């Protein structure tokens, strides 16, 4: 009897193992079927040419050579490499969400007059994709010359809903921190504020361990007057300069008329110098039509960038009075 019990137990274990293996294999097969069932309208892994019409009506044709995208209309255009790589990937490997084996006439899908047309090409071939009406969260689409109609996700349409300047990469403002800064100068109207940093070091010996460490502190002045420690205006200014960046490129090759219209013929000027003597100059003009940005240019660049309103407000709020004001003691702000 004990032998039979042991045999049954062993068989139960073997059955459980076999069942587990079967379920795992079945799950794997189902996953493979799902992968194998994916239908691609386009499969080009090596896209080196991309063209479509922008929302501003411009011909957006780009070519990738030596790992970099350039606009066919002007090689000097500062093409946003990441944005174009993403767009080329979306268009070059385009999966269908649903395929219509027996489609109606093209006008039923908005494909008789496509809302978007994009052409991609590479070493393995080329394809033109027609995109029609939206349907739920997707869009009707078909390869040009094909009778296959499908729906695709909205990702490609989102990438195509741009104008030329949306694909321009803004210039990079050099990174600095309080540790690397030497001076900051802000000029606006009749105001001229020069902030200079002095580095102070002190050897401090720990009473218990006897170890000596060097502590570094900074003393700032504005137009020769010392700025109190923990001054709020200075702290805000340093924080803003540390993370300063352009939000977008407005015009990559602005002429004198455009610069004047953007208020850059008589700009506000932010200049900062690092401890190695490298100087960065930011010229700030008028607000744009949205009121969210200011026109700005970096050093002697011919391009005009957009700088956030919140960043410029930090600079325009600077005065000698705010920079020399002592920090409020705890409890004073509410009195």
pLDDT at 20: 52
How far, in Å, CA of 297 to CA of 36, rounded?
A: 52
Task: Return the H-helix or E-strand segment holding 60.
Answer: strand 59-65
With H, G, I as helix, E, B as strand and everything else as coil, classify residue 171: coil
pTM of the shown model:
0.81
- Least confident piece of the model among 35-49, 127-141, 145-159: 35-49
Q: What are phi and psi for residue 199, nearest 5 degrees?
A: -95, 125
Eight-state DSSP code of residue 318: -
Work out the pLDDT band at 296, boundaries 50, 70, 90.
very high
31 Cα distance to chain centroid = 34
pLDDT at 332: 57
Supply 265's token pair. 């013929």
Percent of the chain with pLDDT over 70: 87
The DSSP string of 299-312 is TT-S-EEEEEHHHH
Mean pLDDT of the chain: 89
Do residues 156 and 147 make contact, with C-beta atoms less than 8 angstroms apart? no
pLDDT at 211: 85
Q: Does position 334 have pLDDT exceeding 70, yes or no?
A: no
CA angle 283, 288, 289 (to 5 degrees): 170
pLDDT in tens, 142-184: 999 998 899 999 999 999 999 999 999 999 999 999 999 999 9
Do residues 143 and 41 make contact, with C-beta atoms less than 8 angstroms apart? yes
CA angle 237, 240, 243 (to 5 degrees): 150
Supply 218's token pair. 């900074």
pLDDT at 330: 61
Looking from the CA of 329 toward its CB, the CA atoms found within 13 Å total 1
How far, in Å, CA of 233 to CA of 327, rounded?
A: 10
pLDDT at 10: 45
Work out the pLDDT band at 29, boundaries 50, 70, 90.
very low
pLDDT at 163: 96
């Amino acid at each position: 009897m004990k032998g039979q019990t042991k045999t049954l137990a062993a068989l139960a274990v073997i059955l459980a193992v076999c069942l587990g293996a079967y379920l795992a294999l079945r799950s794997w097969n189902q996953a493979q079927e799902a992968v194998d069932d994916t239908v691609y309208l386009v499969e080009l892994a090596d896209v080196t040419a991309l063209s479509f019409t922008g929302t501003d009506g411009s011909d957006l044709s780009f070519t990738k050579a030596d790992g970099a995208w350039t606009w066919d209309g002007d090689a000097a255009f500062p093409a946003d490499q990441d944005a174009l790589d993403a767009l080329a990937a979306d268009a070059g490997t385009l999966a269908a969400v649903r395929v219509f084996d027996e489609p109606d006439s093209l006008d039923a899908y908005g494909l008789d007059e496509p809302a978007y047309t994009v052409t991609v090409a590479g070493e393995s071939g080329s394809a033109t994709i027609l995109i029609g009406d939206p349907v739920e969260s997707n869009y009707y689409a078909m390869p040009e010359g094909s009778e296959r109609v499908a729906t695709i996700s909205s990702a490609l349409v989102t990438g195509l809903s741009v104008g030329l300047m949306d694909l321009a990469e803004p210039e990079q403002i050099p990174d600095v921190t309080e540790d690397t800064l030497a001076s900051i100068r802000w000029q606006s109207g009749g105001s001229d504020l020069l902030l200079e940093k002095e580095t102070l070091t002190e050897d401090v010996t720990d009473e218990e361990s006897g170890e000596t460490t060097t502590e570094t502190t900074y003393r700032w002045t504005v137009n020769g007057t010392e700025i109190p420690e923990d001054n709020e205006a200075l702290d805000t200014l340093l924080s803003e300069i540390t993370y300063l960046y352009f939000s977008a490129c407005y015009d990559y090759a602005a002429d004198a008329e455009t610069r004047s219209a953007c208020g850059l013929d008589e700009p506000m000027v932010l200049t900062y110098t690092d401890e190695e003597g490298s100087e960065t100059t930011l010229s700030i003009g008028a607000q744009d039509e949205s009121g969210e940005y200011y026109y700005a240019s970096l050093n002697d660049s011919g391009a005009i960038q957009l700088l956030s309103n919140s960043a410029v407000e930090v600079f325009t709020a600077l005065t000698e009075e705010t920079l020399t004001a002592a920090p409020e003691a705890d409890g004073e702000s509410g009195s």
